[in-house]
Structure 1
Amino acid sequence: MSPSVRPLDPRHSPLVIDTHDLGRQAGALRELHTTVPAPEGIGSEIIGVPPASPIALDLRLESVVEGVLVTGTATVSVAGECGRCLEPIEFPLEIDVQELYLYPGVEPDDVEASRIEGELIDLEPLVRDEVVLELPFMPLCREDCAGLCQTCGQNLNAEPDHNHGDQIDPRWGDLAAWRGDQEN
């Protein structure tokens, strides 16, 4: 194990789950209904799960021949800003989770398969991946968000009739003044 990789410890991450009570008995089942604080870094700078906000887990852990199958849902609160008007937005997001965590010594077909370390499984990568996949690429406060005025930055949702009248491109300003002189 490299020095940068720390062993799993439920005391350091609430998303590390102990599977000791399942044993390696195929068919053993445990349901897990709990709320844990969110780790840092789920999402992007624009939108994501605020650190330490609650993650509601409603999971089923089932022992199978190869390992432990985790299925269920995780509900998080997502916060960020609208991609058009920059107003704060917040909404709940429920994700479906399903992952097979392989017992040590089981050789997977997929080299990136999730593994049980000792009797512990780490749900953080699973929750992080599923939440990020569900986050909107361009978050909006509402579907018909009008955004900001390109000239002054006014929120066009608050002032839908906002305008600056007929604007003359400053590069043509002298020509417009010359045209006015010709008409007089």
Structure 2
Amino acid sequence: MSVNPFVIDVRSVPRRAGSMVEVDRTVAAPDRIGAQMVGIPAGADVHLDLRLESVTEGVLVSGTVDGPLDGQCGRCLDPIEDSVSVYLTELFAYPDSETDKTSDDEDVERIVDEEINLEQTIIDAIGTELPLTPVCTPDCPGLCQVCGVKLADAEPDHGHDVIDPRWAKLAAFKDDAE
């Protein structure tokens, strides 16, 4: 059985409101976090710098999560390497607290067996931070639509004489006339 590195034991956080414990650790991402085009690769180091604060209804987790990104440019398909940093704020409700009793399962996270699982919270936070179409540079021209050559590397006069298919039959008449 593998241990999820995003699970934190909260027994060290006293149940007195205002008590706080800091967690500063680096863990390996068990799976890719993000999208196919860009994300934190599996096995990459993810740094957690968090505060676990005891509140009346549970444990409030706040802090930053940082990790390296890799992926492909959405325009030219070149590899991209970058980093991502997100700020988390999430309440994990104590079992049998008012929040636990009055909230739907999807509305609030819960403490289970004195542990909190930050994995889905981190996945959601990073997913909303990532670009829908990552680019290697803001002005990346992409690929030629006709031949697929990278336009940043192409000659300045790169182009193709493309005949509109609606006029293609007329081009044959022009060739016959010449």
Q: Report the AA paired with residue 76 of structure 1.
A: G
Q: CA deviation at 1:160?
A: 5.2
Within a 5 Å distance, the mapping from 1:59-78 to structure 2 comes to: 59-78=50-69
Q: Quickly say closer, same or farther: Cα 1:18–1:82, change in 2 above 3 A.
A: same
CA contact 2:63–2:88 (8 Å) conserved in 1: yes
Equivalent-residue separation in structure 1 for 2:90 and 2:144 (angstroms): 46
CA deviations on 1:101-123 (whole Å, 9 max, x unpaired) are 11111132431210011211111
% identical equivalent positions: 44
Q: How many residues align?
A: 174
SS in 2 for 1:59: strand
Within a 5 Å distance, the mapping from 1:93-172 to structure 2 comes to: 93-108=84-99, 109-111=102-104, 112=106, 113-159=108-154, 161=156, 163-169=158-164, 172=167
Q: CA deviation at 1:163?
A: 2.0
SS in 1 for 2:124: helix
CA contact 1:19–1:121 (8 Å) conserved in 2: yes
Aligned-residue Cα RMSD (Å) equals 1.9
**Which residues of structure 2 form unaligned runs of 5+?**
none
Q: CA deviation at 1:171?
A: 6.1
Q: Report the AA paired with residue 110 of structure 1.
A: S
Within a 5 Å distance, the mapping from 1:15-94 to structure 2 comes to: 15-94=6-85
**Which residues of structure 1 form unaligned runs of 5+?**
1-8
SS in 1 for 2:43: coil
Q: Quickly say closer, same or farther: Cα 1:79–1:163, change in 2 above 3 A.
A: same
CA contact 1:156–1:162 (8 Å) conserved in 2: no
CA contact 2:68–2:83 (8 Å) conserved in 1: yes
